Structure 1
Amino acid sequence: MDNDLANLGQEIRRLRKWRNMTLDALAGQAGITKGYLSKIENGNANLERRKTIKALADALRVSVADLTGDHFIADRANSEAHAAIPDIRIALISTTLELPTGKPSRSVQELSRETQRLAEARINCQDALVGHALPPLLTDLHAAATSDNNDRLPALQSLVQATNSTAHFLKNLGAVDLAWVAAERGHQAAQILEDPVYIAAADYARAQALIGLGAYDRADAIARNAASLLRPDNVTAIEVYGMNVLVTAFCSEMAGEDPEAALREAEESAERIEPENAFWLNFSRANVNLWRLGIALEAGDHVRAAEVAAEVPLGDIPSKTRRLRFLVDHARALHGLRGRDDEVTHLLAKAEKLGATRTRHNVWAREIVSEMVLRARRDAGGRELRGLADRMGLLATL
């Protein structure tokens, strides 16, 4: 493989050699062919499914995050959002809900407004803004939540939302281990509140972090329990319920089971309401279709995935972060069909305009671009693709 091209295959090869494993041994343990593994390591085939990544991680005795995390992304030092991760880590490690942690610098009303502002900013891909503001918000909310006055209850409620935002922010940047820490802190706050809706919302963040870590069985158990806590008799409860049901659908596919019943349940729940965006989760009929698209991709059914994507108007997707995810997944579907490189590049370029940091650090986008750019080098075309690869930090020289 060209020395200036960095992708997931290089990380797999590095870990394989560190384990003193042959191509035959790793391929056999992961349940794939030696030829396919060789193509992955040499950048001639991209990894398209979480199942394959999980199988390779298990065979290499590492976590999924060790393969897909932010540690091998060349340009992370140039990302303002990534630069915030150490401060977020300190804010989470240096605070606790078990003991008083000082006096907040802002009132609980100000903290509530800031929590909602950052939740909205996150779903609109304003990652640098969110990264700068999260550490002091987390510190202040912990201080307010451990106070003995009337601020404790609203501070705990805001902390559930803030840690939910933090977990998703970190997961999108590849810091999945830390995303789990943030989600666990939100779960602690929700448990203190003893409110099933807040517990289920916090559990959705935990399940999402676990999906990022490849712990699908545990994610499924948490989401199923969260759904069981709720009586979906109001919009907020229905939206939180629906998102957890979608997690169970995804985990069913990962377990080799039929996800259709759960997808239909989520779809029926979405049709019962006018969405109010509880906990900024964006539950809606369009969101159900996004999960259906992702599940088709995990099933390796690129034809069905492309069909689902074609039926989703971009304007029906309410937030930038969901539109970005849709564009990347649509690109994955068309890439799997082959011969659609121009369309794939166009979709990824549109995603990059919505959220440059998210797209450039998205493992699926990087895998697609890595594979396509090698083919583009064989001819005189691919200028737009090479530019995208360069901005992703995949190329040291063109």
Structure 2
Amino acid sequence: MTHTDDIPPNLPLGKRVQVLRESRGMSRPVLAGLCARGPDWLKKIESGQRELRSHTLLLRLAAALQVSDLSVITGGASEVAQPVPLGRLSHPAMPAIWAAVMGRSLTAGTATAPIDVGALQGEVDQTWRLWHTSRRQRTEVGDLLPDLITRAEGAARTLDGPDRRRALVALSDVYRLTGQATAYVAPAELAWVVADRALTAAQQADAPEAIAAAAWNMGNILRETAYPEEALRVVTEAADLIRPHLDNSPDDWRGIYGALQLHAAVTVARDGRDGDAWRYWDSGDQVAKSLPASYVHPSTVFGRANVDFHGVSVATDLRKSGQALARADEIDPDAMPSRERRSRLWVEVARGHLQRGDRTAALHVMNIAHKISSETVAYTPSARGVAAELWHKAPRAFRAEAARLAESVGVAGP
């Protein structure tokens, strides 16, 4: 392995990345995947055909290459000395959740008390509402999940007939919520187990709406672990599955169909596919128009506001910052009942401001995002990346404020 001191000081950034990658025996697709990008993107970086200006992507590259100092990649001393966080994010709720997921019994056993599946589903629905309304949703929901997982598993094992089918739907919902609450903090193996169990339970229940919802969740895991093509395939197949049922279906069936369209829009936008991104977004928009104006899907929060929020995300991912900010100007954030989703909207707006070089505005809206949901900002990579970039490059007058934000998010280092 090449020692970092052996890299010539005048070597361009792209070549430095290539040297580090090859010295670690990593293929280009592997390193690109760890950065949630494709191998062509990395090839252009390494060959110097494309500049790498995003501080977020620099951090991802450094972490993937196990480089603890950004200057090893950039080739020069940073204005602010910033260590690269190499470890996985952690959360106090994870050990108990891990134990509940991995400790699943293999035998049916017997219920010690009658199981009311309706009450169980009601608890799951209430916990989803907590996820969307709490400022500290990971902590509060995480405390409830181990017991919910255990009881939902027990219901699915011990009941039969229609009650078992309903229990399987509840179990799928629990695992979808577990995937949300442990995103970015769960080990990869747990993320995959949870996503697979959500989908398997829904398929065993033979419930198209639950299958589509679980596929939406699986798509999130695939996209965030650098499998965008597979993510797109899963959500489009799920949309094809549920589409024939939409004409005479409940609103929530159309709601999850719309959520799948928005998922596809963001997935292809991150790949720079402008036309496809807006085509999927338009499909979601049409679904929202077919639903009551006040409709909100209980778990994905699909509805009029979420379609508008995704318009900002799509434009930002396509690096159309002017369009993203113009769309954001037309949105009433309070129309979105999900605190977690409102916080992420402001993170997207901050990304748009950073793309235009307006760090003062980005810092202002990041503070809004943090006030709405501190845990959304602290545990979402895009938000952490924005906070790190602001701490690294904030205007002199706002460095203290940027440092406070970075410290509260956990990206400032010692």
| TM-score, length of structure 2 as denominator length | 0.76
Aligned to 1:94: 103
Using a 3 Å threshold, how does the CA distance of structure 1 residues 106 and 341 change in structure 2: closer, same or farther?
A: farther
Output aligned runs, 1:1-398, within 5 Å: 17=20, 20=23, 30-33=42-45, 45-47=54-56, 72=86, 76=89, 82-95=91-104, 99-100=107-108, 103=111, 107-108=115-116, 109-125=118-134, 126-149=137-160, 151-171=163-183, 173=185, 177-230=189-242, 231-233=245-247, 234=249, 235-257=251-273, 258=275, 259-274=277-292, 275-338=294-357, 340-376=358-394, 379=396, 381-397=398-414
Q: Deviations over 1:262-292 (max 9, x none)?
A: 2111101100112543442111122112222
Answer 1 or 2: higher relative contact order, Cα 8 Å, separation at least 6: 1
- State the identity %: 23
Distance in 2, matches of 1:262 and 1:167, equals 24
Q: Displacement, 1:117? A: 1.9
Using a 3 Å threshold, how does the CA distance of structure 1 residues 209 and 393 change in structure 2: closer, same or farther?
A: same
Q: Is the 8 A contact 1:119 1:280 kept in 2?
A: yes
Q: Deviations over 1:192-212 (max 9, x none)?
A: 111111111111111111111
Q: Displacement, 1:188? A: 1.0
Using a 3 Å threshold, how does the CA distance of structure 1 residues 101 and 319 change in structure 2: closer, same or farther?
A: farther
Q: Is the 8 A contact 1:242 1:283 kept in 2?
A: yes
Q: Displacement, 1:158? A: 1.2
Distance in 2, matches of 1:356 and 1:104, equals 40
Larger Rg: 2
Aligned partner of residue 56 in structure 2, secondary structure: coil
Distance in 1, matches of 2:213 and 2:266, equals 17
Q: Is the 8 A contact 2:349 2:365 kept in 1?
A: yes
- In the alignment of these two chains, the number of paired residues is 359
Range with greater deviation from structure 2 (127-136 or 284-293)? 284-293
**Amino acid of the residue matched to residue 375 of structure 2?**
T
| TM-score, length of structure 1 as denominator length | 0.79
Aligned partner of residue 394 in structure 1, secondary structure: coil
Distance in 2, matches of 1:106 and 1:325, equals 41
Q: Deviations over 1:272-314 (max 9, x none)?
A: 1125434421111221122222222221222222122222111
Range with greater deviation from structure 2 (239-248 or 320-329)? 239-248
Using a 3 Å threshold, how does the CA distance of structure 1 residues 286 and 356 change in structure 2: closer, same or farther?
A: same
Q: How large is the Cα RMSD of the aligned pairs?
A: 3.5
Q: Is the 8 A contact 1:73 1:393 kept in 2?
A: no
Aligned to 1:3: none
Distance in 1, matches of 2:102 and 2:18, equals 29
Aligned partner of residue 146 in structure 1, secondary structure: helix
Q: Displacement, 1:327? A: 0.7
Distance in 1, matches of 2:226 and 2:112, equals 36
Q: Displacement, 1:178? A: 2.6
Q: Displacement, 1:255? A: 4.5
Distance in 2, matches of 1:226 and 1:303, equals 33
Range with greater deviation from structure 2 (108-117 or 314-323)? 108-117
Q: Displacement, 1:128? A: 1.1
Q: Deviations over 1:175-233 (max 9, x none)?
A: 55533321211111111111111111111111111111121111111111111111222
Aligned to 1:65: none
Q: Displacement, 1:321? A: 1.1
Aligned partner of residue 331 in structure 2, secondary structure: coil
Q: Displacement, 1:114? A: 2.1
Using a 3 Å threshold, how does the CA distance of structure 1 residues 368 and 253 change in structure 2: closer, same or farther?
A: closer
**Amino acid of the residue matched to residue 411 of structure 2?**
L
Q: Is the 8 A contact 2:124 2:148 kept in 1?
A: yes
Q: Deviations over 1:341-372 (max 9, x none)?
A: 22211211111122212202222222222222
Aligned partner of residue 117 in structure 1, secondary structure: helix
Q: Deviations over 1:43-68 (max 9, x none)?
A: x841369xx96xx69x979xxxxxxx
Q: What residue ranges of structure 2 are gaps of 5+ in the alignment?
A: 1-15, 33-38, 67-84
Range with greater deviation from structure 2 (362-371 or 316-325)? 362-371
Q: Displacement, 1:133? A: 0.9
Q: What residue ranges of structure 1 are gaps of 5+ in the alignment?
A: 1-12, 62-70
